[in-house]
Amino acid sequence: MRPAPLLTLLIAVLLPQLAAGQSLRGAVESNSALYFDDPALGPAINKWGSNNYLKLDWQRDSLSAGLQAEWYPQALAGYPSELKGAGLTGLYIDWTHGLLHLHAGSFYEQLGSGLLLRSWEDRDLGLNNCIDGGWASVRTGGRELEFKLLGGFPKYGLWPTGASALAGADLSLDVLRALGVQSLHSFKLEGSFTDRMTLQGDSDIDFLAGSAGFSVPGHLMGWSARAQYAREGFSLKAEYVGKGADFYAEQLPGAKESYRLKGGNAQLIEASAAVGPFSGTVTFRRLENMAEQIFLTISSPSIANTLNYLPSLCMQQTYLLAGLNPYVTYADGEAGVQGDLFWNFRRGTALGGRYGMKLHVGGSWIEALPCALPDRSESHLAYRDINIDLEKRWSRSFKTIAFVSIQENSPTHGNRKATNAQNVFVLDGQYRISSELAARLELQYLYSQELSRDWMAALVEFTFSPHWSFTLSDMYNHGSTGVHYYNVGASYTLDAFSVSLLAGRNREGMICSGGVCRWQPAFTGGVLRIQWSF
Amino acid sequence: MKRLVTLVLLCCLAALAVRGQDIPSVGLVDASGRKVATSSLIDHKTPFVISMWMTSCKPCLKELEAVMDEAADWDGDFPLRVYAVSVDDSRSLQRAVAMSKAWEGVTPLFDPNGDLRRALNVSAVPQVFVYDKDGNLYHTHIGYRPGDELQLLATLRKCAGK
């Protein structure tokens, strides 16, 4: 037999054998929109937009590799402008051998709660600040001690900017395990360190710093110390984060700015507990000059230019009107507390009835720090809210949720005393017509004497398990503009394939995901979303 | 040229030979903050369900409630193992822990850095995965509509050969 056919035969026999024991996963997502001129909103900024993603992951035993590609022929309205064209936005290889774990290529990382460092992807926001580089971690056999070193170039848009590089280290110690104590308690001590190295400075920033008599440091150091205690039904976490001196634009009275070097710090305390039918959580957080960018600039307001995670310390609203004017974290300086209490009335109890009932009461209170405001003498309320929702099942087929949200938001982040208040009331009912067919109705009302005053909204949804759902909604600002924001949608799902179409008019405002927000311009049009994972 | 075409075809054959999907090997955390390897969910005896959810996702909570309702009436042919993996980030992680404290019939786990979410290519929640007793993917479904929980449990029984 000639060598070539022999080789072919060998490959034909061996390749499937080599392939056995491997797994290949992937996902395709495409979000495309058509925008139309609308007399109520004005001409459309663009006629269309499309965001597309492909992800592939291969794994064999302890070795894995993958890639992600993104394509923005023209990004959807409201997405960061740097998302343009096509790019291989992720490429990695990952290997675990015993207690050692190595990763080369793109990676996502979060140190502690993310106040010090977080790289993550959120397609609703158009944010993907993954780091192109690598990390190595090593741990002890019982996970008593874990240590990680990381480094690379943060990505901005489709590619690393080359303007900065990042290095970091993380150490985690499970104290009780390390002492050999067999206990239901858990006590961990952790610490992290980061260094953002500026490779290419911004000429505007350098000029402003030079005018003020200082130069911008080439290294921005950050560190955090964390402690975490947990036992059955209770947990307590504390975190302190420090940030080295960085270029800081200081707000002065009369909308003026001065420039100086300033460090930052943050403190976070979280506790949660569960006793009988009750469970609750409370979080305190204080931030001072904690915004950390991939590269310093005074010209790019893009949310993608971020290296840490500063989510708003309040409940993420899910009803249309309750999320109309969300609070956005004031990274220059704020302190706040948020709490949630859940009461689960079990089935068969006096209040729970035959099918049980759930009550949630939550709220937050956030004040701006005087040091971050032009008027240093005092600070005012930045945001507060209280949210109550009561979920009651009346029969096997009928369930209701009553929801109230009272919100007060300062448009100046606490710089002035004036605030905007709004009260939102929602009634949400779901009725199961058969084991496969269900209908849902939401009725909402927003009462306010500020901004665009009163709103009302309604949503009707029909679902046919397991494939189809249809929605129809309208949000009407009858207190000021008289504009209807109507939408009609349909979606079809087959296992891991899903396609949905939503068409209508959408208002401008902040779109939030995970407590981080971006600006969404108003538009009228249709959005087609296709997802498939395999 | 012929060789190249042959090689490409053989590579395609090899790709087809790549077995389905084992559960990816990543670390999650439990309510106490301790790490739980996904490989430890495989017991080689019974299939299991992973339901990806988050606190701000109403369909996710409806699905978990519906599964818990059905779990209360589970006939016990084999142990019902449902792992509700929260993809909440650090902002709402404690809220997810508190919400899941009262759950019965579902084991809460947490994926605060999104490692499992990325490994499973979950771009929107809820998404459920049914794995057989050896950790091979048997079924997955995106989204929730009332009634999906019945399909899910029927699929689980089928996967268990019941």
Q: Are the CB atoms for A385 and A364 separated by under 8 Å?
A: yes
Number of cross-chain residue pairs from A and B with Cβ atoms under 8 Å apart: 197
Q: Read off the pLDDT of residues A30-40 as tens digits, 9 standing for 90 and up.
A: 999 999 999 99
Q: For residue B96, give the 3-state DSSP assignment.
A: helix
What CATH number is associated with residue B46?
3.40.30.10
B98-130 b/e (C-beta count within 10 Å ≥ 16 → b): bbbbbbebbbbbbbbbbbbbbbbbbbbbbbbbb
Is the backbone peptide bond immediately before B146 cis, with ω within 30 degrees of 0?
Answer: no
Report for A473-487, B62-76, B104-118: range of highest mean pLDDT: A473-487
- Pick from A445, A462, A463: nearest CA to A454: A445
For the segment A449-477, the average pLDDT, to the nearest whole number, is 96
- Pick from A220, A207, A260, A266: nearest CA to A242: A266
Closest by Cβ to B56, choosing from A21, A228, A318? A318
Q: Read off the pLDDT of residues B14-32 as tens digits, 9 standing for 90 and up.
A: 444 444 568 888 889 988 7
For the segment B108-135, the average pLDDT, to the nearest whole number, is 93
**For chain A, how far is it from start to end, CA to CA, in angstroms?**
40
Indicate whether B67 pLDDT > 50: yes
Cβ A19–B90 below 8 Å, yes or no?
Answer: no
Enclosing H/E stretch for A96: strand A85-97
Q: How many domains does chain B have?
A: 1
For the segment A259-273, the average pLDDT, to the nearest whole number, is 95
Cβ A8–B18 below 8 Å, yes or no?
Answer: no
User: Is B13 within a domain?
Assistant: no
Indicate whether A415 pLDDT > 90: no
Predicted pLDDT at B101? 84
Mean pLDDT value across chain A = 92
Q: How far apart (Å, rounded) are the C-alpha atoms in residues A410 and A314? A: 14
Predicted pLDDT at A147? 97
For the segment A399-425, the average pLDDT, to the nearest whole number, is 93
Cβ B142–A235 below 8 Å, yes or no?
Answer: no
User: Is B126 within a domain?
Assistant: yes
Q: How far apart (Å, rounded) are the C-alpha atoms in residues A416 and A170? A: 41
Residues 109-128 of B with CB under 8 A from A: 112-114, 118-124, 127
Report for A181-195, A337-351, A482-496: range of highest mean pLDDT: A482-496
The pTM for the full model equals 0.90
Predicted pLDDT at A10? 55
User: Is B4 within a domain?
Assistant: no
With CA atoms as reference, the chain B residue closest to A316 would be B56
Predicted pLDDT at A1? 43
Closest by Cβ to B94, choosing from A174, A270, A495? A270
Indicate whether A385 pLDDT > 60: yes
Q: For residue A502, give the 3-state DSSP assignment.
A: strand
Q: Which residues of B touch A192 (CB under 8 A)?
A: none
For the segment B24-53, the average pLDDT, to the nearest whole number, is 91
Predicted pLDDT at A252? 83
For the segment A346-353, the average pLDDT, to the nearest whole number, is 87
Closest by Cβ to A281, choosing from B56, B95, B118? B95
Q: Is A456 exposed, middle or buried (0-12, 13-18, 19+ CB in 10 A)?
A: middle
Q: Which residues of B touch A26 (CB under 8 A)?
A: 121
Q: Is A422 exposed, middle or buried (0-12, 13-18, 19+ CB in 10 A)?
A: buried
Q: Read off the pLDDT of residues A207-246 as tens digits, 9 standing for 90 and up.
A: 999 999 999 999 999 999 999 999 888 999 999 999 999 9
Q: Are the CB atoms for A514 and B95 separated by under 8 Å?
A: no
Predicted pLDDT at B73? 81
Q: Which residues of B touch A96 (CB under 8 A)?
A: 25
User: Is B118 within a domain?
Assistant: yes
Predicted pLDDT at A20? 62
Predicted pLDDT at A179? 92
For the segment A484-497, the average pLDDT, to the nearest whole number, is 97
What single DSSP character describes residue A130? Answer: -
A399: which strand partners?
A393, A430
User: Is B112 within a domain?
Assistant: yes
Closest by Cβ to A186, choosing from B33, B141, B150? B33
For the segment A79-88, the average pLDDT, to the nearest whole number, is 92
**Least Cα separation, residue B100 to chain A (angstroms):** 9
User: Is B86 within a domain?
Assistant: yes
Predicted pLDDT at A447? 97
B5 at A interface, C-beta within 8 A: no
**Least Cα separation, residue A9 to chain B (angstroms):** 10
B40 at A interface, C-beta within 8 A: no
Closest by Cβ to B102, choosing from A279, A491, A533? A279
**pLDDT class for B10, splitting at 50, 70, 90?**
very low
Q: Read off the pLDDT of residues B73-83 as tens digits, 9 standing for 90 and up.
A: 887 678 999 99
For the segment A195-214, the average pLDDT, to the nearest whole number, is 92
Q: Read off the pLDDT of residues A276-295 as tens digits, 9 standing for 90 and up.
A: 899 999 999 999 999 999 99
A382-396 b/e (C-beta count within 10 Å ≥ 16 → b): bbbbbbebbbbbeee
- How far, CA to CA in Å, does A233 sit from each of A282, A362, A363, A461, B36? 14, 19, 22, 37, 18
Q: Are the CB atoms for A341 and A347 separated by under 8 Å?
A: no
Q: How far apart (Å, rounded) are the C-alpha atoms in residues A178 and A141? A: 11
User: Is B59 within a domain?
Assistant: yes
**pLDDT class for A8, splitting at 50, 70, 90?**
low
Of residues A143 and A18, more confidently modeled: A143
Indicate whether A92 pLDDT > 90: yes
Enclosing H/E stretch for A133: strand A131-139
Q: How far apart (Å, rounded) are the C-alpha atoms in residues A318 and A136? A: 39
Q: How far apart (Å, rounded) are the C-alpha atoms in residues B2 and A324? A: 62
- Given CA atoms A109, A114, A119, A125 in this order, what sign does their dihedral have? positive
Cβ B142–A311 below 8 Å, yes or no?
Answer: no
ipTM for the assembly: 0.86
For the segment B137-151, the average pLDDT, to the nearest whole number, is 95
**Residue B105 belongs to what domain range?**
22-159
Mean pLDDT value across chain B = 85
User: Is B139 within a domain?
Assistant: yes
Residues in chain B: 162
**pLDDT class for A16, splitting at 50, 70, 90?**
low
With CA atoms as reference, the chain B residue closest to A271 would be B94
Closest by Cβ to B32, choosing from A24, A186, A438? A186
Which position has the token pair 């779109």? A511
